[in-house]
């Protein structure tokens, strides 16, 4: 199987397929998504939305519409209205170049609303959109589906640990001694042990609780989710680190299962979690 590795969206991507002639085309898709949806790119649609309150971009509209559906289905535990809160905590630039905090007033998530009309997205209120909890998973699905549509019969797309595979049974390690098999499905992992920094009030991380505007304080430090697609797995892995008590009972409605790890390294799985033999 052929492999293609590159960096985008602040992480390493790996494409595996039986059609290496498609890799350059697929990488270009990832870079286009990043250019349009990253809050760290000054010319992106997300930045236009932040600065002007509205932006017209079909890709932005598709991802925001999907995100709003997940917000409803998770009871608001997952939300994309946390860009100002992340900047206030110091995560105001790509993590690869971040140097301290640029403190800004909180955006009061509950007072803002998002409207999608065709290709136009509008934010009514002070919140800033951040698509970090969904864009990578969505892009993994998008690239996976394009590679299959372009003629690849076996495909694995790994965007920094958000993974989707089909065409054969792909073994994917999720801990040092655990693995899952993907053939049409996806797996994603979120962790509070990475993308960490120290603010004036102590350690911080990038998983924000929308109820407080602060780094989430959940009993688990890592959440891995298996789901039918990478978008769902990405969203649920993040949501589990915000409020596992609320999200765990909802996993079945998404066709998802989870493995959770606490600060002591103890692993917990949902009853339907299935590992590779």
- DSSP assignment of the chain equals -EEEEEEETTEEEEEEES-GGGHHHHHHHHHHHHHHH-TTSTTSHHHHHHHHSEEE-HHHHHHHHHHHHHHHHTTTSS-S--HHHHHHTT--S-TTT--S--------GGG-EEEEETTEEEEESS-----TTTHHHHHHHHHHHHHHHTT-SSEEEEETTEEEEESS-EEEEEETTEEEEESS-EEEEEESSSSEEEETTEEEES-EETTTTEE---SEEEEEEEESSHHHHHHHHHHHHH-HHHHGGGGGGGT-EEEEEETT--EEE-TT-----
What are the angstrom distances between the C-alpha of 54 and each of 44, 63, 110, 133, 222? Answer: 12, 15, 19, 21, 35
The pLDDT assigned to 91 comes to 43
CB-CB contact of 223 with 174 (8 Å): no
pTM higher than 0.75, yes or no?
yes
Is residue 276 a part of any domain in this protein? no
DSSP letters spanning 110-172? GG-EEEEETTEEEEESS-----TTTHHHHHHHHHHHHHHHTT-SSEEEEETTEEEEESS-EEE
Residues spanned by the domain of 25? 2-269
CB-CB contact of 140 with 155 (8 Å): no
In whole angstroms, what separates CA 228 from the centre of its chain? 15
Is residue 73 a part of any domain in this protein? yes
Domain count, the chain: 1
The pLDDT assigned to 84 comes to 61
Structure tokens at 74: 């998770």
Is residue 275 a part of any domain in this protein? no
223 vs 184: CA distance, rounded Å: 21
Within 10 A of 66 (CB to CB), how many other CB atoms are there? 21
Is residue 31 a part of any domain in this protein? yes
Residue 142, sorted as left (phi over 0), alpha (psi -120 to 50) or beta, turns out to be alpha
35 vs 209: CA distance, rounded Å: 27
**CATH number of the domain residue 116 falls in:** 3.10.520.10
270 vs 69: CA distance, rounded Å: 24
Mean pLDDT in order along the chain per 10 residues (277 residues): 94 97 98 93 93 96 94 87 59 40 40 86 85 93 98 97 96 88 93 58 59 68 94 94 90 96 89 81
What are the angstrom distances between the C-alpha of 23 and each of 12, 20, 146, 258, 260? Answer: 15, 5, 11, 31, 33
Is residue 118 a part of any domain in this protein? yes
The pLDDT assigned to 96 comes to 39
The pLDDT assigned to 16 comes to 98
Is residue 277 a part of any domain in this protein? no
CB-CB contact of 137 with 62 (8 Å): no
């Amino acid at each position: 199987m052929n492999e293609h590795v590159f960096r985008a969206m602040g992480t390493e991507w790996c494409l595996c397929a039986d059609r290496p002639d498609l890799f350059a085309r697929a990488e270009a898709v990832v870079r286009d998504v990043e250019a349009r949806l990253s809050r760290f790119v000054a010319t992106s649609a997300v930045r236009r939305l932040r600065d002007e309150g509205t932006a017209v971009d079909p890709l932005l509209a598709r991802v925001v519409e999907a995100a709003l559906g997940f917000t409803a289905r998770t009871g608001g535990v997952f939300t994309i209205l946390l860009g100002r809160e992340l900047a206030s905590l110091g995560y105001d630039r790509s993590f690869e170049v971040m140097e301290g905090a640029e403190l800004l007033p909180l955006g009061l998530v509950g007072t803002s609303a998002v409207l999608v009309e065709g290709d136009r997205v509008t934010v009514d209120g002070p919140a800033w959109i951040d698509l970090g909890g969904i864009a990578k998973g969505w892009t993994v699905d998008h690239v996976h589906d394009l590679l299959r549509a372009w003629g690849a019969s076996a495909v694995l797309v790994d965007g920094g640990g958000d993974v989707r595979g089909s065409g054969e049974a792909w073994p994917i390690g999720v801990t040092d001694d655990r693995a899952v098999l993907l053939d049409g499905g996806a797996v994603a992992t979120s962790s509070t042990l990475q993308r960490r920094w120290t603010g004036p009030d102590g350690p911080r991380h990038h998983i924000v609780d929308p109820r407080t505007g602060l780094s989430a304080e959940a009993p688990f430090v890592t959440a891995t989710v298996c789901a039918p697609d990478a978008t769902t797995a990405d969203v649920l892995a993040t949501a589990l680190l915000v409020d596992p008590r609320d999200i765990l009972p909802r996993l079945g409605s998404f066709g998802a299962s989870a493995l959770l790890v606490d600060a002591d390294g103890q692993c917990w799985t949902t009853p339907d979690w299935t590992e590779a033999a």
